[in-house]
A and B are shown apart, each in its own frame.
Chain A
Amino acid sequence: MSDVIDRPLLEQEKAAKTRLRIIDCDVHPSLHSHADLNQFLPKRWQQHLKTYGSHLRTPYIGTTPYPRSSPLIARRDAWPPTGGPPGSDLAFMQKQHLDPLDIEFGILQVLDLFIFSQQNLEFGAAIQRAINEWQLAYWSDRDPRLKASILAGQDDTEAAIAEIDRCAKIGRYMQINVCPRANEPLGRRRYWPIYARAQELDLPLGIHVGGYGGHAPTGGGWPSYYVEEHQSNAHSVATQLSSLVIEGVLERFPRLRIVFIEGGLGWIPATTWRMDQHFERFRDEVPHLKRRPSEYVKEHFWFTTQPIDEPDEAKHLRSLIEWIGVDRMLFSSDYPHWDFDDPRFAFKTPLTEAERAKIFNGNARALYKL
């Protein structure tokens, strides 16, 4: 019996002459406590955070509506021994994740404080700005491997653009993160000024799954269980992809690059085939689309690999990779979350050296200009 299921990579690792350094496109740092933000928050919002706190479109103040299967969605071994939640201690993150896996760069994705889901848009913008500053001060400044992303909630488009501009001037941010589930689908025109700015600044748009936009997590109502809601993340990104393509965002912004983060990969081919399949039938509803939907996908979208798909047969993972295209894939670990992918063992199908170089490093390097 083998120690680890199907580890074809292990042999390749041993044989590789040059060790491949990894760019991890989804690392989640966490606030140690809300007080960490005080140095970046105006007094007014410090006070607001303490008193009124988060105002979300969910039943609870302090937690998500769907209790996760482990505390703070995290790996149980990721709680820093010095205290604080998983992801809050840089030294521990270095020791447990960045150093042993030889992470060349880790792209930060912050999910704390329901950043994008605050109903009070001014408060939300203040939180986003504070966290954008916190990313640099607490993370990038102390470990240059860790790269920040601009958090800019799209439902207050003006504030989002102001924050994007502020961060772009600083120049140390890899992408512009918008909310995955907001008031309206991402393709809607009201959000286009943000995409215009992203294109002007030549920064990719990053969409990390999750969020509580106020719509049920499915088109048919509210699931009862986390086991359903967790999978709905994949459905949401599939719908967002369709929205961005169908609304003509890529036609209007032909240099825009878009990354879906933590959506996984499995849903991509069928979503693309379905768009193409029905394109002719709906063509006169969307005359602004000059190309087949799949063409936009192949040129404008990238996808992080976690949570990696686990078909029973390894060769099916190979088919999935062929359908998506190696060029579109960006390795991500999702450290320190529970459904974390270890770069050594996550891919249960052999990859060529060239493929590994792209997935684990080259594609992200080019996309984020590292």
Chain B
Amino acid sequence: MARHIVARTTEIPPGGNKVVAVDGRDIVVFHVNGEFFALLNRCPHEGAPLDKAACVARLTSSEPGVYQRSRVGELLRCAWHGWEFDMRNGQSYFDPARVKIRTYPVVIEDGETLAKGPYVAETFPVHIEDSYVIVEA
């Protein structure tokens, strides 16, 4: 798998996302509570783009009328049919074993390390004080 710089961390505000094309695939990178998650930007159901998904809490319940929230912002409700997916591992909420979105490991690297490698590209100027989001895809 190759490593691709997709964004500066400052480009993606908390709760936001960015879509990048990597090797012909659209990958969406989400920023939630200081962490970054990257998924194929296509719902396995009917192909909806996930960058417009609602980022919601994981909602569970022990009985009618009780609403338990956890992992706020880490679940995606697909923009079309509302299927819920865990950003961390792409698993669908209703059938985690069988229905998933392809995920990609994400690493945050300092600009300084990048200056040395082949990733100095015109579109991604290196700044020592900035951090970069790298996606392995």
Contacts and interface: CB of A to CB of B under 8 A. Distances in A.
**A and B: direct contact (Cβ < 8 Å)?**
yes
Interface residues of A, number: 18
A4 interface: yes
B44 A342 contact: no
A345 interface: yes
A344 B47 CA distance: 9
Contact of A77 (B45, B46, B48): B48
Contact of B100 (A1, A77, A344, A346): A1
A337 B109 CA distance: 40
Interface in B45-89: 45-49, 51-54, 79-82
A339 B47 CA distance: 13
Interface residues of B, number: 20
A346 B46 contact: yes
Contact of B80 (A3, A340, A344): A340
Contacts of A346: 46
Contacts, number: 52
Nearest to A339: B81
Interface string A159-176: 000000000000000000
Contacts of A5: 44-45, 99
A76 B55 CA distance: 11
A342 B102 CA distance: 20
B44 A75 contact: no
Nearest to A224: B64
Contacts of A76: 52-54, 79-80
A341 interface: yes
Interface of B: 40, 42-49, 51-54, 79-82, 99-100, 102
Interface of A: 1-5, 69-70, 75-77, 338-342, 344-346
Given A3-B40, A338-B81, 19 more contacts: A1-B100, A3-B42, A3-B47, A3-B102, A4-B44, A4-B45, A4-B46, A5-B44, A5-B99, A75-B48, A75-B52, A76-B52, A76-B53, A77-B52, A338-B80, A338-B82, A339-B81, A340-B46, A342-B48
